[in-house]
Structure 1
Amino acid sequence: MAPATMRDSFFGDLVYHLSGHRYFQHPEDLPGFTIPTPPRSHKSSRSVTPTRDVETSSRPDDEESRLPEGEKTRLPRVDSDQGTIVVPEPTERAAAHQKAREVEEGDLERERMKDAVQQEMSESLIVEWYSANDPEDPQNWSFRKKSFVTFEICLLTFSIYIGSAIYSPGIGQIAEQFGVSETAGTLGLTLFVAGYGVGPMFLSPLSELPQLGRTTVYILSLALFVVLQVPTALSKNLGALLPLRFVAGFAGSPALATGGASLSDMWAPEYRAVVIGLWSVAAVSGPVLGPLLGGFATQGERWTWTIWMLLWLGGATLALLVALLPETSASALLYRRARRLRRVLRDARLKSAGEIEAEHMGVRDVAMMTLVRPFVLMLVEPIVAFWNVYIALVYGILYIFIESFRVVFVEKHGFNLGENGLAFLGLFCGAVITYAFFAPYALRVLKPHFVNNTFVPEMRLPIAFVGSVLLPISMFWFGWTSSASVHWIVPIIASAFFSAGTYMLFQAGLNYLSDCYPRYVASVLAGNDFFRSMVGAAFPLFSTAFFHNLGVGPACSILGGIAILMLPIPWIMYRYGARIRSWSKYAD
């Protein structure tokens, strides 16, 4: 595993090119290499083929694109009236409707671009996987290699996400040192969150370019993130600190939006819920464990140590990933193979499909995909709008929790900063325990539907039923047991139920959106990330005053009441989601 893993890493690819292709060689570089010829009647279901939509290439786990052409009009759906699964028979009318809908979505310029892509495809020799068992296809990697790369993606995500909340214990010292209010000091937290909400709109599409791939974007953005921690820790005023925090969040954002895509590159659809669920635990652990590490660092030294710890963690992660994080994007791997074959065989017609598509994608197409379409979908699609609001609310409450723990446990229970950080372990334990139940559920309940091709998006939602109920319960529980007269363990237990509900809602909501809009998943998830990050960035600014002015109990009751108002959303989507999707020209 190690040689191939290092060969396909950022370091290995750099050495390969700098050495004139003498080190970290690929099979195509060896003497006597000939292209393996697969059976004429066989075509790998994982080969890269021309896509029907520019944005489809950003969905590595698009189950529809894996089906034979004749099967695409027979995808199963839920009969919302009878609650049963129906597989319609293919008809010419359905095929015509599908084609008409595709034409309606594109303008003339886009259709011309598609024609140009198809024309070049017909004139080129398309480089695909050599066989269904090609060892370079990430789907065919060994379980051990997939698990190791999954660990690396989780570590990268944790190393960035912890950068938000690790800052929060030092807010008081920052306000004192720079002579500003604590609200102004809190801007260092909110701007970091805003940065990693805005960043994916611009940086994540770069990972879909076959000329770059995911690993190059991860490494370069993480390197910038690490370097920025030095001037941040040395800042002498708030005017210098705040822009650096925003840029750091912006630079670290690609992994937060694309990590799930990296995992989908490797794992088959029936296992993705489990591995992406594990990745979500790593994401939750960042803002949850950040106050724990930051609290002891601030108490023992100064607030600058929270930034130095972020530098050390990010630097260690960078060193590991530079050497041992292989490229996972099939589009990028096939592009590299095409380049090698063109050089070895001296045939300029050898190209990968992703390479041809990228060459014909203009600035307008990229802008539409990343900056315009996320907001269009959020405004015109009820499913997207409701889930964005719901998940943004949950995300905002999570960051209110990060700030409110200081009010509850420091002011009321007399905890020091380090002990206050330990109180966040309730949130961490709730997420871990929930995943321990979620993973077997995904394998036992969801996996058979993927295997039998009977899966429909609404099957994601039952866990959201539980999460939607746990969220308001935990809010009322936490709020009315936070007084000094109640033992501190009681609100900590309540926080564990909050993280359990949050985890379930995130897993159900984000996966449901991805399944409903496979052709536009990049836009849908980018818009969701932007919307929830903006809400998450705003909530901490008023959280301390919110709890001081109203009291913890009434304040949490207001949040719990809002959660109750949002509670019907997953139930409505489960009952009527299929019907709502049938009205949409974007949903599949």
Structure 2
Amino acid sequence: MVAPALYRHPTRSELIDLAAAEGHDADIPSNIGSLPEDSRHTTRPSISLHEENNHAAAREKDVEGGAKPGSISSTNEAEEEPDNDPDVVDFDGPDDPENPLNWRATKKWGMVALISAITFLTPLASSQFAPGVPDVMRDFHSTDQMLEGFMVSVYVLGFAFGPLIIAPLSEMYGRLPLYHSCNFFFIVFTIAAAVASNMDMFIIFRFFMGCFGGAPMVLGGGTIADLIPREQRGTAMAVWMMGPTIGPCVGPIIGGFLTVAKGWRWNFWFVAIVAGAFFIMSLLLMSETSGVIILQRKTNRLRAETGNMKLRSKLDSGLSPTDLFKFSIIRPTKMLFLSAICFAISLYIAITYAYLYILFTTFTAVFTKQYGWHGGIMGLSFLGLGVGSLVGQFIYIHYGNKIVNRHIQRGDFRPEHRLYVMTIGGFFIPIGLFMYGWSVHFHTHYMVPIAATGLIGFGLLMTFMPATTYLVDVFTIHAASAMAASTVLRSLAAAIIPLSSQTMYERLGYGWGNSLLGFIALALVPIPFLFIKFGERIRASSTVKL
């Protein structure tokens, strides 16, 4: 069947949610269609004429329109049946076995588990060898403190640049080739880092580890959205999100004991071995899930069988590779520098995320000099961050969703309701920094600074998660570009700011050094309060054009 009867038409909110999960803007097709930029595409999901006219006008004037009261609910969204064009290739009804949503449960959840495991490993590799940094410096005969921090944070610099290329390539060639190629090169550069013979080689290989290691974070959300129905997706997304949030905090705990037992190079051999096992499993178990690619292959097959060259995929966007790269790079740049909301929220995330890597790059020196810790026990100094982050994630999921659902039921939901949790979480970061700095300065019991870093980890998650979802709700069809802008700024800050951390501590001491970070974090606290009060007015007066 080429043009089957429409079995259930997607609503605007479903299209936006799925596109955000897949990591692209909603004017680029996902498995259920797209919200078009103009009328040149004949195959598109339809929305009400009134809604589409308003939406088109908003695109010309404003990309910060956000969700209006009640707009999260799709019950009032008008839907039209599109014309059945015999030349349009679609899935053959709701039970088509080619549709990833209809695959058997064991295959779907097996892929989700594998993707979540890979997404946990690559962020874990960003910080696992942190306890072994002094050994690396000794082996490479370096005393440069800037390099000492940069060898850890350069991995995150790769996170900034790799996804900008990976995202548009996945739209052109599908998710599976990008998973396999990026996993392969991640293993290659991990092994290269393990055998590096000088500092320059090591840093370059770490950078490329980050570039390719970012692939599962770019592709994972979309794959889960391809496989799991919307109403069952929450658990899978929560498990998958633990990778980038908890992985960097768990890595050093493993690395501390592994460095003592086998040397710092074995941190990389460990990652390469596990990644190699995941790579083999992915070759055997993973299949292409992108509806765009599946339907394009079906179209090509039917063209060859029927000779009808007019056949076209329902999800064909007609976008050239140049357009895809433009949307991936130019849009986020414009949004970052021209949108007050995007810039302020991204700046908040970037600075607080940089604090995480300041701690990663200095924990070893702090607990060695102040508490005399050595050997494998050094990895336990990261335990507070890990536990605090984990608690923060669970509390946000529970209370953040509870607050939002309450407003959705009332019909008065605004994107700013996402920020209520952030207003609380923001205070934990400066409190934790003050407590950490002065407890280390006065040599209090080691549990005090570890508990303080738990507060920091808790605050980081309680600001990072609501800020990210706020960007999705504010920018709707351009949510992926907003998140890409935030990711680039966050990664650049996490790679560059920690370079001066050792010098800061030498000149100011641990007490005043961390107090300086705390005062900066305290100055950022009003941002969510301001947007709760004025965010809707700012969005209404926005003139950002893409």
TM-score by length of 2: 0.83
CA contact (8 A) 1:408 1:483 kept: no
Residue 575 (1) aligns with residue 528 (2): no
Counterpart for residue 206 of structure 1: 169
CA contact (8 A) 1:152 1:321 kept: yes
Counterpart for residue 242 of structure 1: 203
CA contact (8 A) 2:129 2:259 kept: no
Residue 278 (1) aligns with residue 239 (2): yes
Residue 126 (1) aligns with residue 98 (2): no
CA contact (8 A) 1:166 1:291 kept: yes
Cα offset for 1:175?
Answer: 1.7
Give the partner amino acid of 1:394.
T
State the alpha-carbon separation in 2 of the partners of residues 565 and 62 from structure 1: 42
Counterpart for residue 387 of structure 2: 429
Cα offset for 1:534?
Answer: 0.8
State the alpha-carbon separation in 2 of the partners of residues 60 and 458 from structure 1: 29
Residue 537 (1) aligns with residue 495 (2): yes
Q: Structure 1 pair 164/324, CA: closer, same or farther in 2 (3 Å)?
A: same
Residue 99 (1) aligns with residue 64 (2): no
Counterpart for residue 193 of structure 2: 232
Among 139, 149, 154, the alignment partner of 1:191 is 154
Cα offset for 1:250?
Answer: 1.4
Counterpart for residue 430 of structure 2: 472
CA contact (8 A) 2:151 2:206 kept: yes
Counterpart for residue 9 of structure 2: 44
Residue 178 (1) aligns with residue 156 (2): no
Aligned counterparts, 1:9-408, within 5 A = 37-38=4-5, 42-45=7-10, 56-57=27-28, 69-70=47-48, 73=51, 98-102=55-59, 125-139=87-101, 146-183=108-145, 184-209=147-172, 212-267=173-228, 275-358=236-319, 361-363=320-322, 365-408=323-366
Percent identity of paired positions between Structure 1 and Structure 2: 27
CA contact (8 A) 2:430 2:519 kept: yes
Residue 551 (1) aligns with residue 509 (2): yes
- Aligned residue for 1:69, secondary structure, equals coil
State the alpha-carbon separation in 2 of the partners of residues 451 and 268 from structure 1: 22
Gapped regions of structure 1 (runs ≥ 5): 1-33, 74-94, 107-120
Among 499, 523, 544, the alignment partner of 1:565 is 523
Cα offset for 1:497?
Answer: 1.8
- Aligned residue for 1:424, secondary structure, equals helix
State the alpha-carbon separation in 1 of the partners of residues 493 and 541 from structure 2: 29
CA contact (8 A) 1:167 1:303 kept: yes
State the alpha-carbon separation in 2 of the partners of residues 223 and 472 from structure 1: 41
Counterpart for residue 505 of structure 1: 463
Gapped regions of structure 2 (runs ≥ 5): 37-43, 64-82
Q: Structure 1 pair 312/57, CA: closer, same or farther in 2 (3 Å)?
A: same
Cα offset for 1:268?
Answer: 5.2
State the alpha-carbon separation in 2 of the partners of residues 122 and 68 from structure 1: 13
State the alpha-carbon separation in 2 of the partners of residues 104 and 566 from structure 1: 29
User: Which piece of structure 1 moves more, 306-315 or 144-153?
Assistant: 144-153
User: Which piece of structure 1 moves more, 228-237 or 334-343?
Assistant: 334-343
Give the partner amino acid of 1:38.
A
CA contact (8 A) 1:123 1:349 kept: no
Cα offset for 1:362?
Answer: 4.7
Give the partner amino acid of 1:176.
R
Cα offset for 1:387?
Answer: 0.8
State the alpha-carbon separation in 1 of the partners of residues 455 and 356 from structure 2: 12
CA contact (8 A) 2:89 2:313 kept: yes
State the alpha-carbon separation in 2 of the partners of residues 128 and 56 from structure 1: 18
State the alpha-carbon separation in 2 of the partners of residues 351 and 45 from structure 1: 20
Q: Structure 1 pair 268/445, CA: closer, same or farther in 2 (3 Å)?
A: farther
Cα offset for 1:160?
Answer: 1.3
Cα offset for 1:326?
Answer: 3.3
State the alpha-carbon separation in 1 of the partners of residues 112 and 403 from structure 2: 23
Q: Structure 1 pair 432/124, CA: closer, same or farther in 2 (3 Å)?
A: same
Cα offset for 1:237?
Answer: 1.4
Q: Residue deviations 1:209-261, cap 9 Å, x none?
A: 2xx21122111111111012222222211222222221221122222233333
Give the partner amino acid of 2:196.
S
Q: Structure 1 pair 418/195, CA: closer, same or farther in 2 (3 Å)?
A: same
Q: Structure 1 pair 35/208, CA: closer, same or farther in 2 (3 Å)?
A: closer
CA contact (8 A) 1:59 1:518 kept: no
State the alpha-carbon separation in 1 of the partners of residues 287 and 425 from structure 2: 36
State the alpha-carbon separation in 2 of the partners of residues 149 and 452 from structure 1: 37
State the alpha-carbon separation in 2 of the partners of residues 579 and 434 from structure 1: 30
Cα RMSD after superposing both structures:
3.4
State the alpha-carbon separation in 2 of the partners of residues 135 and 324 from structure 1: 17
CA contact (8 A) 1:520 1:586 kept: no
CA contact (8 A) 1:517 1:587 kept: no
Give the partner amino acid of 1:577.
G
